[in-house]
Each structure stands twice: as C-alpha cells, then as structure tokens.
Amino acid sequence: MKQHTPHDSAILLRRSRKVISDPLSRPKHREAFGILMSLARAGNYEAEYDVALCYELGDGVRRSLKKAAEWYTKAAQHGCLDAMHNIGVFYEHGTGVSRDAAMAAKWYRRAATAGFADSQHNLGYLYLTGNGAKRSTSIARQWFLRAAIQGIVESQFNLALIYDEGIGTARNEEEAIKWYREAAGRGDIPSMANLGHLLCFGSLSVLSPREGAEYLKRATASNDLVAMHNLAKCFATGIGVRKNARKANELEERLAQLAR
C-alpha cells in the first residue's frame, strides 16, 4: 500500500478528528477510528494521541484504559505534550496502569519544562505533597507560579494560599491578595472566600472591609461555608457592612444546616 505523504496525513488526521468529535456523525466514528489507527501505526504522534483518547472515551472503539495508556505513552515518547500530561495523570491515579507517582512526576516534568501549564500545576502539587517527588514547597511554588502566569486558576489559588499561610516561605498578604484576585476574577469561589477574609480581617496594610464583604457575599451565594461564617462575623461586628445581628444569626443558622 502506498504510504501517506505528510500533507495527506495531516488532512486525513483533521478529517478523522472532526468526525470523532461530532456526536451527530457517531455511525462514522468506527470508520474514523480506523483511519486514525492507520496513521498512528505509521508513527503520527497526533493520531497516536487521538487513538489513545478514543480508547479512553470508548469513542469509535471498545473502551480500554490499558490501551489508552499504551497509546498515550507512544504519543508522549514522540513529543506530544498533551499525551505526556495525560499519561502522567494515568500514573498518578492508577488509570490503565499501576499507580506510580514517580512516573507521573517524570511525564509531568517533561511537559511542564516545555511550557504545558496543566502539567506545571500537577507537578507543583506533587512537590507540595511530596508524592512522587521530594517534598519542596520552594519548587512547588515555582511551578505554581509558571502555571498561574498562564492562567491556571488552581495554581493561582495554591500560590495565594502558600503566601497567605506562609507555607514554606514568609507570609506575604500582598502576594496572597494579588493571586486570590486573579483566581477570583476567573470565578474561583474559594479564592473569593479567602480574599474576602484577608480584606476584612487581615493586617492594617491590606484592609479593605467593604470590598472584602462583597467578595464574601459572592462566595456565600455559592454556599461556601468559610465565606458564610466570615460574612456572619462581618454582620455581627459591622466590619465592611452595617451591623445587623439578625442577618448574622440567619447566616449562622444556614451554615449549621449546610454543615450537617
């Protein structure tokens, strides 16, 4: 059989991906999977990744997490950053392979070093917890910072929390507020809650009670228990809001019901 030229392979890959991703063309998925498999066996790393994804989701082929792991590994070995990240996740959680945090760290590190933000976050978490990598808050902070700059909300929150609680570094409320703001601006509820607490009850240099109370209200609207407790304190003491014992009691009662 004639081998595909690179140009043909790219065209076939794009067409197959479009069919696989279109739920309305599901009867054609098996045919599309066959095309992807042919390309993957020819060494096309994008097709290797797509074959792995199909096996993971059971799309166009019988679901097999073991085969998904095999194809993610092949694609990762050929330089696919998405595949490096996914096989890292598989090893971290024992999906389709035996759980191996050190192997997860290895693949995350390769993708993270190449700038893959999700892997930067996950690698930071492994360093933070000492799972698969020697525990180092300093290194964790560096990876969280890289991912946070790229907009990963979870890293923005973790970085803020490290500065907020002084985990492995000097406490820095200004840096904590900076990163809580970034994450809160992207809709992260825990960041709103923690930011509200700092602005209402932090040191004098960072106090902004009215703004803090607004963040607490937003987080409370999503039933965040931490925010609800602190907003009740605000109403009880008149910090950032007009003092209102009735509202404080209502919030505490609501908090008790939700905490059951």
Tens-digit pLDDT profile for residues 119-165: 999 999 999 999 999 999 999 999 999 999 999 999 999 999 999 99
Residue 21 lies in a domain: yes
> What mean pLDDT is reported for the chain?
92
Q: Is residue 50 included in any domain, yes or no?
A: yes
| Selected residue with higher pLDDT from 206 and 230 | 230
Q: Is residue 194 part of a domain?
A: no
- Assigned domain for 136 exists: no
Q: Are the C-beta atoms of 51 and 72 separated by less than 8 Å?
A: no
Q: Do the domain assignments include residue 14?
A: yes
Residue 56 lies in a domain: yes
The phi, psi pair for 250, rounded to 5°, reads -60, -40
DSSP state of 27: G
Angle at Cα 42 formed by Cα 37 and Cα 44, nearest 5°?
A: 80
Task: Domain of residue 37: give its range.
Answer: 1-77
pLDDT of residue 137: 95
Instruction: Give the pLDDT confidence score for residue 14 in this predicted structure.
Output: 63
In a domain, 114, yes or no: no
129 located within any domain: no
Q: Which residues fall within 8 angstroms of residue 122, CB to CB, at 6 or more apart?
A: 85, 88, 89, 92, 104, 108, 112
